[in-house]
Structure formats: C-alpha cells, structure tokens
C-alpha cells in the first residue's frame, strides 16, 4: 500500500544509494526466531525476584504495616517497607527551573506513612520465585486510614478539594500563560468567532512487555549493573547513581530488547529503583517484572485534558486570533526526572502555530490528583494541541461556509514563509504544509470521496472525511530539559571503528526499541564510509560501551544519533583515505572508497581492499613509517540552530458511522509526512502507521476510567480496549522531504506524527459524517454510546 | 496438591518434567525449559503473546495449566524455527518490517501459520479477523497483514478481495 517514490526520493536513492533505502532490519531476525532477550529472559546466578504490595486506596495514612508473616513465608528472603529503604534511596523531586513556579512534593520510592494513589508501592517482598513472593504478599497486613481523594480533573480544580500535599498550599502543580497582548481587541474586531470545548481522555501506554528491571550489585566490584527495559540508558545511569548514592562509574545500564516503550519507559519509577536498592542491600541480583494489572496502576498515564478553544476570523476566512485554555490532571507527584508538566507546556507552545494569526493567548493549569502517576507518553501534548486546533478549523469552516481544505490553504503557513517565529514564540526552520495538503487531497482523490459520500447518504450510509494539517516537535536541543537542570543528554555520541577485516562497528548512545534505529545507523555509516551495509554492526544500549547519549525519545534518535553516526563515519573515511595514501603511495585526494575498496577517484579502479588497510594498520604498522593510523573515531552531535526541529504533515481519515448502533468503522487513512531526509523509507512508513494506530486508540477506545473515589475501574486488558487488527484500516503513507539544514544528514524525527495527528483526523471525519444530523462530538473517546447520544437515539 | 511428573513432546523432543498444579503452561515452559519465545503479556488470555501450539491447535499458554500438557505435542517458535516450518513467514515478517519491538511476534507468527495452514482462499479482512486476538502496540497491524498475505500468495493460496 506504499505510495510510489517521489522524484526527490528517487534522486536521493540514486545519489546516496543507502540513505533512504528500505533495507530490512538485520536485528529483526532474532525477534522472529523467538531469540530476543527481554528482561524476563535474562537469567542470572542466585537471582531473586521482588514483588510489590501496592496501595488499594487512592489516599490513605498508613497506620501500621505488619510484614512478620510474609517474612516467614516459604522462599522469602527479605521484606522491605518504604522506611526500610529510605536511607538507601533519596526521594525524587521533579521540578525543572525553566518551568517557573512549578511545584512538586518529594516522592519516596516506596510509600512512607501515606499513600497518594491506588497502585503506589508500599512493601517489597523478595523471594526465590515470583510466585512465592506473591504468596507472601498476600500475608502482609496494612492498616489504612482512608482519606478523601482528589479523583478527577474537575475535583482537583475545585478550590474546596482536599490538598494532596499541604506543604504545597494547593493542588496546582504548574500554570503557564502566553499572551501576545492583542487578543481581546482581535476578537472584538473579528467577523466570525467560534468556540468549543474538547475532552481528551486519560490513557496509558500498555507496553506488551511490562516495565522490568534487574538490579545486579556486585560487592566485589562495588558496581551496580542495571538490566532495564528502558529508552534512556544514560539517564538511568545518572539518576540511579545520584538517588542510590553511587558514583556514576559504579552504575552500568544495559538495555537489550525492549518490548514496547512509547515514552512509558523514559521515566524513573520507584519500584524499579527499589529493586536496585534491594540488590545493593542483598548483594544479589534481583528481578522485577511488572505484571499486567500492576502496569495499569503504576505505569505513567497521560493526556486527561479539557481544552476550551476560541478562534476569530475575518469574513473571508482569514484566521486572526486564537485563544486556548487547557486544564489537565496529573498524578499526585511530578514524575522524575522529566516532570509531569511537559505535556501541557507543549500544548501552549504549539497549538495553532502552523496557521498564521496575529493574536494568541494560551493558558494552562496543571493540577495534582490522587490518580495514577502521569508524565510523557508518545507525541507529548501534540494530540491535544492538534486535536483542538484542527477540530476548530473544521468548526470554523462550517461557520464560514468554507470547504475544510480551502480554509486550510488560506491560513496554513506558506511553504516560502520560512524561517519564521510564531506568535507563541516557536521558531520554525522550514516546512511544507501547502505541498502536503495538496498532495493528500490528490492521493485520496477527495472529489471522488465527496461524490461517494453524497450518494451514500441518500441510501442511509453516513461516511465522513477529515483532513488535518499538523506539526511535530523532533530533535530537541538542550532547551527541552537541560536548561531546566535535568541531566538528560540532548547530544548523542557515536564511535565508529574499522576492525582488521574491514568490518565496521558503530556504538551509539541512542538505542533501539523496535523503531529500526540500529538499521538506520548502519545505513548512515555504510554510506558515509563506502562499505556494504552488511559490513556494519551496531551496538547500542550499554553505558559501559557506547558514548554518552540521550537515548530514544521525542523523535530524536535518527535525527541526532544519526547525525553523530554520519559525522564519526565521515571522519573515519578521511582517516582511511590518509592511511590508504601512505599504503598505496598515492595522494589522498586521488582516492575514494566504494564497496569496501579503496578506488581511484577518477577511474574507479579498485586499488586495495579495506581489509588490507586493516591488516597493515593493526598488524604491520611498522611498515607505515611515522604515520599513525586512527581507525576509531568518536563524534558528537546536538541540535544548535533551533530549539526543536519541527516536522509537518497532513493526515486524512475516512470512516463510516452506523447511526443505528453508534459504531464507527475506520475505512482508510492517508498520511503525507515531511520528516526531512528519509533514512529508510519502509521504517519511516511503519513508524507512521504504528503511531497512527496508537493515536486511534484513545480517540475511539482507550480511557482510564476512575470512580469518584479514585479507583481505576478498568485496569486490565479485557476492560481497557486497545486497537486490534480487525478494526484497523489500511493506511497509505506518502512523503514530502524538506531536509533540515541544522545537520548534514537533514533528517527530522518521524516516530510520533501519527499519534499526534490521528485524533484530529478522526474527530473531523466523525463530525463530517454527523453533519446531516446537525450534531457534533468533541469528547473523546468516541464510544458508540456517545455517538448515539449525539444522535439523540439514547 | 503435589507436583506430578508429566511427559510430552516439546519441539520434537520427548521430555519429562515435574509439573506443579498451580503453574500455567507458559510459566512452566519458560521456567523449566528456558524457552523464551512464548512471552508473558497479560496473563489473562487477552493479548496472545504467550501463544503456543498444542496438538496442532494454537492456545494461550496463560490459560492452560502445565499438567494439561501431559502426553501432548507442544510446538513453540524455537521448534518451528529449527524445523524450518515457518521460514517463509519469518522471512516475510523481516522483509516487510512486520515486527517492531518483537514482543507480540511469536504469537503473531503462530497465529499467522494457523491461519494459512490448510487455507485455500483468504482475504485481508480474514487475516485481520484471525489476528484479532493478538495485540500489537507497535506496528498498527498493516505490515503483519501484508506479510501474511504475501506468504499466502507464495504458498499458492488464493487471495480474494473483500467487499469494501
């Protein structure tokens, strides 16, 4: 279902044969052979297992914890409470200096004296087998004094609500306002003003491999090895070292195969930290694997917004003013170390910024609740910012009597308007909104779909079409975390070395969780040096081996880690040519490297293979005179020109609403995406498709449902619905390529755009389908019940 | 209840082990035989990551007790890989990138093979329906459907277009 290669892609493939090529992932072989190694597959000598007794109450004092019976149960080696571990683990306080006025309470790894959410770990039970630890867990007696909980966004916004952390004064974690100052006058002078309220549900990541970790403390080496299912190994090294009172060099973090992450595994979790602390105390390896039920009540949740949005237009459809008010409910703590406010912060930064306008005001109120912990999940903030903005553009189109495509063509930033700074202060380098919109209209044959829609409506079949434009923050610089004091690397380092046989090893600080990161690093290195792809082996996910890096989040691995790879490999190539000049007694500038051979740049004559250079450099350096070969190069890359490298794209959804049952059937999606230079077309396409389906989830199915007391009511896979194969449509993916000039490679991120844009596309398609009934919906997820209520049939 | 000795054919090899009545098949196979291809995803029969094949039928390893394996023929991806039974399907999954994080992949492959085995005529919709008990959070399913469809073509199974 892939769209044919564009001229630009063809040209890129011809010019740089490996960059952009849809090479299959070599590391997928072990995944299909059943040979992947996730944390639960790591088996170490004398391994112990830990399980956690978790709070059954959303808010309570812990009057008494009796672990005596559990400690005596078969197989139990040790039992720890929060107080027992308080001297080993420092509390986590997640605030960042650039979020001015942000408040957060210190969070203990295991609860001490009180619990703040249902699912908070209280007691750790260590045993020789998981099931024996689970048996013992049932013997722990906890005397709770239940307190009233703040169990929803509305409850938290109520000034009479109990204050979760009295020392903070109230339940407001963070507020922010951006105001260009001319908003009120712009609205009073606008011809048409539209206003709606949107609801984006609380949901979670549901990684198929639960969070998992092994802490393996060696008393002999005085080192902690952490095997962890995670996206940011160096961040874990830094955080664990500081929180556990170890030196950085005493902590080694190894991330092997990761069974789904999506941002869920970019955080520090108390139970994982406690597992490592217990390994230090017991001087034995200890494993923790979150089971499905505890994943739902301890993995971070995300979204949970109510957004009011207002837009003012001239009579001709020109957007003039935008106002957004965002209210969102986090958990009781700010999640360490990235905080729980980035989501809302992104929304006020980016909402509507891809449309020209003269006045912008956005406010955001981020409140604590006694629901599960909350932080960054794939496409942080974007589904909300894009969902509300694009929903409003269609509302405005209906109010103005304009076609949804026309109102976008009129207001989208023009492709020649870059670089520019937006009313919210975002700096955009280069985008292709107009071209993407034009391309998607053509790819989907919109006029034919509209004809079909009209015909089918007469037969009682109600289809809808939604087309949206969007942006996505990728390749973040130090502006994302570093400036606020978080020790999360914005740069990636890469070492590229040639081995004696001429094979290449790449070590990179950014890693792989299935996106294909290692494959694109191999493509980039092979292209830069002039060797065959199969000659390159990539190693990631080990802080003892790779240069320092940020890891894989915020769509940064290909753009930043890829650029570091390119720079290191290019340098190695120069070093190889210098060596070849000595070995062949020819000028370096007359030489080139292709297909693992040193060739004559002019005639392409093969002169000597790289394996011969390797042999001489490593085993006969005595023949090189004073020349010293350097066949191992490290380079670093970090975005500098812009705080973020924004991508853009357009997404279209075609769906059908069964007005009798309220069910929505997704018929097809189209995507036109601009992630700059495409490093591997198939991998980009599959990132787009996978992300799109993750965006479909919370738009139609997924929601963490809490009762009024703060209990999660659907924390299992039966009741928490996710997209499954049968309901999902095919998705046609196409590309426009506007490389970033911030790097030589020109690659922008591609991992989150689908998640960012799918909700808006569905929202608009649904309201388009419902248009004949003069009703509309803005409250996700769009369940059959809500559809029937909107139709007045329930 | 005490553990019992059970004997069964595991990936073509006759094996014997002590089965504890409380242990479900997936933990039993992973712990006693150090098999890793069947994964533990939800332990309540929803996600399909722990799919194994028992006497030719695909089942959820988390919904079967270990003692029920007694006298049966059990296949996992380790065995099918060694035997080459699904080499074409595995190849197609790699080529089409029908695998991202890989945690669902064993279940997807076994379910895909179950779907194709003995099939004369299939459609994309039928593939999707057959996979509807297997959860994948990464791929969005389309690449998996493509991979299975391509293997159907190569195996000479007729692929029909479903009505739109």
Do A66 and A139 meet the contact criterion of CB atoms below 8 Å apart? no
Whether A740 has a pLDDT exceeding 90, the answer reads yes
| B93 and B34 together in one domain | no
Asked if A262 is an interface residue toward chain B (Cβ–Cβ < 8 A), one would say yes
For residue range B148-164, list pLDDT tens digits in order.
999 999 999 999 986 44
The token duo for B36 is 């890793």
pLDDT at residue B161 in the model:
85
ipTM: 0.97
- For chain A, the straight-line distance linking the first and the last C-alpha, in angstroms and rounded, comes to 39
Per the confidence metrics, is the pTM higher than 0.95?
yes
Q: How far is CA A380 from CA A271, A366, A543, A609, in A?
A: 24, 14, 26, 48
Whether A2 has a pLDDT exceeding 70, the answer reads no
What is the CATH code of the structural domain delimited by A491-637? 3.30.365.10
Chain A, chain B: beta-carbon pairs less than 8 Å apart? 177
List of chain A residues whose C-beta atoms are within 8 Å of the C-beta of residue B100: 513-516, 686, 690
List of chain B residues whose C-beta atoms are within 8 Å of the C-beta of residue A289: 40
The token duo for A64 is 């008494």
Total domain count, chain B: 2
Percent of chain A with pLDDT over 90: 97
* Last residue in a domain, options B80, B104, B124: B80
Whether B1 has a pLDDT exceeding 70, the answer reads no
Could you tell me if residue B163 is inside a domain?
Answer: no
| B124 and B104 together in one domain | yes
For residue range B92-106, list pLDDT tens digits in order.
999 999 999 999 999
For residue range A492-523, list pLDDT tens digits in order.
999 999 999 999 999 999 999 999 999 999 99
What's the average model confidence in pLDDT over A664-687?
98
Q: Can you give the residue ranges of every domain in chain A? A: 39-147+207-298, 301-478+641-790, 491-637
Of B106, B135, B142, the CB nearest to A724: B135
The rounded distance, in Å, linking the Cα atoms of B49 and B76 is: 12
List the one residue out of A397, A593, A731 whose CA is nearest residue B140. A731
Q: Is B44's CB within 8 Å of A258's CB?
A: no
List the one residue out of A26, A137, A117 whose CA is nearest residue A74. A137
Could you tell me if residue B97 is inside a domain?
Answer: yes
| B55 and B15 together in one domain | yes
| B8 and B36 together in one domain | yes
Q: Is A726's CB within 8 Å of B101's CB?
A: no
| B9 and B73 together in one domain | yes
* Last residue in a domain, options B63, B80, B97: B80
The nearest CA of chain A is from the CA of B120 a distance in Å of: 21
The rounded distance, in Å, linking the Cα atoms of B5 and A424 is: 70
Of B27, B41, B109, the CB nearest to A32: B109
Give the DSSP per-residue string, chain B: ---EEEEEEETTEEEEEEE-TT-BHHHHHHHHS---SS--S-SSSSS-TTEEEETTEEEETTSSBGGGGTT-EEE-HHHHHHHTTTHHHHHHHHHTT--SS-TTHHHHHHHHHHHHTT-SEEEHHHHHHHTTTS--SSS-SHHHHHHHHHHHHHTT-EEEPPP-
Q: Is A24's CB within 8 Å of B97's CB?
A: yes
What's the average model confidence in pLDDT over A67-91?
98
* A341 confidence band (pLDDT: 50, 70, 90): very high
The rounded distance, in Å, linking the Cα atoms of A588 and A608 is: 13
The rounded distance, in Å, linking the Cα atoms of A493 and A567 is: 10
Of B47, B81, B96, the CB nearest to A34: B81
Least confident of A15-24, A603-612, B47-56: A15-24
Whether A11 has a pLDDT exceeding 70, the answer reads no
Residue A207: other Cβ atoms inside 10 A: 26
List the one residue out of A551, A643, A638 whose CA is nearest residue A268. A551
| B96 and B154 together in one domain | yes
The rounded distance, in Å, linking the Cα atoms of A493 and A753 is: 25
Whether A13 has a pLDDT exceeding 60, the answer reads no
The token duo for B3 is 């553990």
pLDDT at residue A607 in the model:
98
The DSSP element (H or E) to which A672 belongs, if any, is strand A664-674
Q: Is A514's CB within 8 Å of B40's CB?
A: no
Please tell me the total number of residues recorded for chain B in this structure. Answer: 164
Residue A569 class from Cβ within 10 Å (0-12 exposed, 13-18 middle, 19+ buried)? buried
Do A168 and A332 meet the contact criterion of CB atoms below 8 Å apart? no
The rounded distance, in Å, linking the Cα atoms of A777 and A790 is: 7
Of B42, B127, B139, the CB nearest to A292: B42
DSSP state of A105: -
* A5 confidence band (pLDDT: 50, 70, 90): very low
Helix axes A753-770, A681-700, angle to 10 degrees: 50
The rounded distance, in Å, linking the Cα atoms of A49 and A360 is: 53
Do A639 and A480 meet the contact criterion of CB atoms below 8 Å apart? no
The nearest CA of chain B is from the CA of A683 a distance in Å of: 7
Residue of B nearest to A516 (CA): B100
The token duo for A493 is 């380092």
List of chain A residues whose C-beta atoms are within 8 Å of the C-beta of residue B47: 208, 292, 717
Do A577 and A588 meet the contact criterion of CB atoms below 8 Å apart? yes
Three-state DSSP at A751 gives coil
Residues forming a β-bridge with B24: B65
Helix residue ranges per DSSP H, A88-140: 130-137
Q: Is B44's CB within 8 Å of A716's CB?
A: yes
Residues 717-736 of A with CB under 8 A from B: 717-718, 722-728, 730-731
Q: Is A728's CB within 8 Å of B43's CB?
A: no
For residue range A207-235, list pLDDT tens digits in order.
999 999 999 999 999 999 999 999 999 99
Residue of A nearest to B163 (CA): A667
Residue with tokens 């109600």: A462
Of A691, A693, A717, the CB nearest to B42: A717
Angle at alpha carbon of residue A310, lines to A305 and A312, rounded to 5°? 160
Could you tell me if residue B56 is inside a domain?
Answer: yes
The rounded distance, in Å, linking the Cα atoms of A694 and A759 is: 10
A754: left (phi over 0), alpha (psi -120 to 50) or beta: alpha
CATH code: domain of residue B73: 3.10.20.30
Q: Is B97's CB within 8 Å of A34's CB?
A: no
| B75 and B107 together in one domain | no
Q: What percentage of chain A's residues is helix, strand, coil (to nearest 5)?
A: 35, 25, 40
The nearest CA of chain B is from the CA of A376 a distance in Å of: 17
Residue with tokens 């909980």: A149
Whether A1 has a pLDDT exceeding 70, the answer reads no
- The superfamily CATH assigns to domain A39-147+207-298 is Aldehyde oxidase/xanthine dehydrogenase, a/b hammerhead (3.90.1170.50)
| B63 and B93 together in one domain | no
- Taking the alpha carbons of A680, A686, A689, A694 in that order, is the dihedral positive or negative? negative
Asked if A208 is an interface residue toward chain B (Cβ–Cβ < 8 A), one would say yes
Of A43, A260, A726, the CB nearest to B103: A260
Residues forming a β-bridge with A80: A124
Whether A17 has a pLDDT exceeding 90, the answer reads no
| B90 and B111 together in one domain | yes
Q: Is A260's CB within 8 Å of B138's CB?
A: yes
Domain coverage including residue B144? 86-158
Residues forming a β-bridge with A129: none
| B126 and B58 together in one domain | no
For residue range B6-31, list pLDDT tens digits in order.
999 999 999 999 999 999 999 999 99
The rounded distance, in Å, linking the Cα atoms of A768 and A394 is: 9
CATH code: domain of residue B106: 1.10.150.120
Residue A402: other Cβ atoms inside 10 A: 19
Residue A713: other Cβ atoms inside 10 A: 11
HEC string of A54-95 equals ECCCCCEEEEEEECHHHHCCCCEEEEEEHHHHCCCCCCECCC
Residues 656-715 of A with CB under 8 A from B: 667, 682-683, 686, 689-694
Residue A135, CB-side half-sphere exposure with 13 Å CA sphere: 13
Whether A330 has a pLDDT exceeding 90, the answer reads yes
Could you tell me if residue B25 is inside a domain?
Answer: yes
DSSP state of A264: G
Asked if A41 is an interface residue toward chain B (Cβ–Cβ < 8 A), one would say yes
> A789 Cβ partners below 8 Å, 6+ apart?
none
The token duo for B38 is 């069947």
The rounded distance, in Å, linking the Cα atoms of A685 and A751 is: 10
Asked, colleague to colleague, whether A301-478+641-790 and A491-637 share their fold, the answer is yes
Q: Which CATH number fits domain A301-478+641-790: 3.40.462.40, 3.40.50.620, 3.30.365.10, 3.30.450.20?
A: 3.30.365.10
- Taking the alpha carbons of A440, A443, A448, A454 in that order, is the dihedral positive or negative? negative
The nearest CA of chain B is from the CA of A509 a distance in Å of: 19
* Last residue in a domain, options B80, B102, B119: B80
The nearest CA of chain A is from the CA of B70 a distance in Å of: 22
Whether A16 has a pLDDT exceeding 80, the answer reads no
Residue A26: other Cβ atoms inside 10 A: 16
The rounded distance, in Å, linking the Cα atoms of A577 and B96 is: 37
Whether A245 has a pLDDT exceeding 50, the answer reads yes
* Residue A354, preceding peptide bond in cis (omega within 30° of 0): no
Could you tell me if residue B153 is inside a domain?
Answer: yes
Residue A341: other Cβ atoms inside 10 A: 28
């Amino acid at each position: 279902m892939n769209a044919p290669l564009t001229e630009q892609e063809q040209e890129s493939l011809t010019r740089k044969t490996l960059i952009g090529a849809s090479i299959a992932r070599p590391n997928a072989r072990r995944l299909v052979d059943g040979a992947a190694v996730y944390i639960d597959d790591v088996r170490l000598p004398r391994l112990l297992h830990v399980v956690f007794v978790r709070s059954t109450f959303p808010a309570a004092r812990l009057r008494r914890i009796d672990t005596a019976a559990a400690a005596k149960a078969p197989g139990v080696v040790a039992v720890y409470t929060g107080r027992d571990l308080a001297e080993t683990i420092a509390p986590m306080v997640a605030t960042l200096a650039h979020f001015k006025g942000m408040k957060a309470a210190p969070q203990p790894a295991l609860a001490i004296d009180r619990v703040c959410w249902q699912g908070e770990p209280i007691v750790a039970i260590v045993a020789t087998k998981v099931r024996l630890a689970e048996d013992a867990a049932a013997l722990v007696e906890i005397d709770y004094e239940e307190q009233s909980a703040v169990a929803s966004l509305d409850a938290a916004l109520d000034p009479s609500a109990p204050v979760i952390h009295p020392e903070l004064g109230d339940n407001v974690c963070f507020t922010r306002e951006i105001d260009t100052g001319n908003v009120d006058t712009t609205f009073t002078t606008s011809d048409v003003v539209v206003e709606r309220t949107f609801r984006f549900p609380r949901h979670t990541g549901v990684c198929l491999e639960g969070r998992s970790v092994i802490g393996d403390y060696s008393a002999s080496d005085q080192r902690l090895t952490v095997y962890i299912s995670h996206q940011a190994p160096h961040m874990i090294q830094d955080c664990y070292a500081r929180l556990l009172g170890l030196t950085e060099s005493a902590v080694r973090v190894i991330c092997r195969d990761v069974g789904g992450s999506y941002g869920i595994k970019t955080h520090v979790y108390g139970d994982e930290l406690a597992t490592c602390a217990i390994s230090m105390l017991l001087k034995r390896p200890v494993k923790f694997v979150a089971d499905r039920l505890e994943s739902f009540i301890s993995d971070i949740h995300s979204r949970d917004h109510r957004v009011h949005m207002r837009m003012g237009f001239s009579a001709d459809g020109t957007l003039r003013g935008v106002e957004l008010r965002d209210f969102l409910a986090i958990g009781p703590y700010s999640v360490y170390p990235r905080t729980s406010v980035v989501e809302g912060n992104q929304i006020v930064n980016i909402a509507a910024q891809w449309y020209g306008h003269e006045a912008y005001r956005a406010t955001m109120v981020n409140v604590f609740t006694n629901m599960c912990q909350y932080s960054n999940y794939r496409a942080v903030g974007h589904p909300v910012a894009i969902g509300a903005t694009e929903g409003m553009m269609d509302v405005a189109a209906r109010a103005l009597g304009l076609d949804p495509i026309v109102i976008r063509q009129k207001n989208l930033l023009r492709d020649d308007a870059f670089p520019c700074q937006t009313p919210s202060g975002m700096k955009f380098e280069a985008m292709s909104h107009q071209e993407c919109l034009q391309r998607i209209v053509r790819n989907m044959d919109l006029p034919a779909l509209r004809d079909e829609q009209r015909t089918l409506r007469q037969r009682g079949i109600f289809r809808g079409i939604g087309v949206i434009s969007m942006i996505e923050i990728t390749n973040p610089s130090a502006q994302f975390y570093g400036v606020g004091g978080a020790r999360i690397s914005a740069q990636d380092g890469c070492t590229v070395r040639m081995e004696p046989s001429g094979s290449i090893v790449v070590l990179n600080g950014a890693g792989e969780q299935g996106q294909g990161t290692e494959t694109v690093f191999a493509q980039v290195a092979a292209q830069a040096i002039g060797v065959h792809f199969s000659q390159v082996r990539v190693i990631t996910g080990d802080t003892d081996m790779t240069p320092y890096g940020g890891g894989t989040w915020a769509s940064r691995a290909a753009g930043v880690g890829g650029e570091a790879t390119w720079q290191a490999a290019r340098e190695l190539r120069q070093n190889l040519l210098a060596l070849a000049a000595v070995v062949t007694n020819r000028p370096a500038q007359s030489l080139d490297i292709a297909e693992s051979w040193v060739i004559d740049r002019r005639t392409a004559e093969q002169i000597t293979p790289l394996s011969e250079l390797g042999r001489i450099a490593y085993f006969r350096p005595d023949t090189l005179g004073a020349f010293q070969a350097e066949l191992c190069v490290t380079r670093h890359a970090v975005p500098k020109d812009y705080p973020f490298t924004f991508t853009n794209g357009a997404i279209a959804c075609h769906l059908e609403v069964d007005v009798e049952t309220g069910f929505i059937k997704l018929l097809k999606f189209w995507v036109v995406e601009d992630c700059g230079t495409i490093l591997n077309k198939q991998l980009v396409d599959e990132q787009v498709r996978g992300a799109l389906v993750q965006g479909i989830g919370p738009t139609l199915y997924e929601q963490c449902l809490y009762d009024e007391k703060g209990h999660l009511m659907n924390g299992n896979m039966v009741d928490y619905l996710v997209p499954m194969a049968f309901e999902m449509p095919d998705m046609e993916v196409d590309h426009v390529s506007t490389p970033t000039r911030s790097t030589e490679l020109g690659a922008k991120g591609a991992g989150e755009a689908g998640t960012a844009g799918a909700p808006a596309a569905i929202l608009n398609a649904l309201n388009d389908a419902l248009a004949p009934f003069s009703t509309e919906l803005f409250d996700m997820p769009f369940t059959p019940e809500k559809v029937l209520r909107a139709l007045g049939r329930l | 209840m005490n553990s019992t000795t059970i004997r069964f054919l595991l990936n073509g090899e006759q094996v014997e082990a002590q089965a504890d009545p409380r242990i479900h098949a997936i933990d039993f196979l992973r712990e006693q035989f150090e098999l890793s291809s069947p994964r533990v995803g939800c332990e309540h029969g929803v996600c399909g990551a722990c799919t194994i094949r028992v006497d030719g039928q695909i089942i959820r390893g988390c919904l079967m007790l270990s003692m029920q394996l007694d006298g049966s023929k059990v296949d996992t991806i380790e065995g099918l890989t060694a035997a080459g039974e699904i080499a074409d399907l595995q190849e197609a999954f790699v080529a089409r990138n029908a695998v991202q994080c890989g945690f669902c992949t064993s279940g997807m492959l076994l379910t895909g093979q179950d779907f194709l085995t003995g099939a004369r005529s299939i459609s994309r919709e039928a593939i999707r329906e057959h996979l509807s008990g297997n959860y994948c959070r990464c791929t969005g399913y389309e690449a998996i459907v493509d991979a299975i469809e391509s293997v159907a073509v190569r195996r000479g199974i007729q692929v029909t277009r479903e009505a739109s």
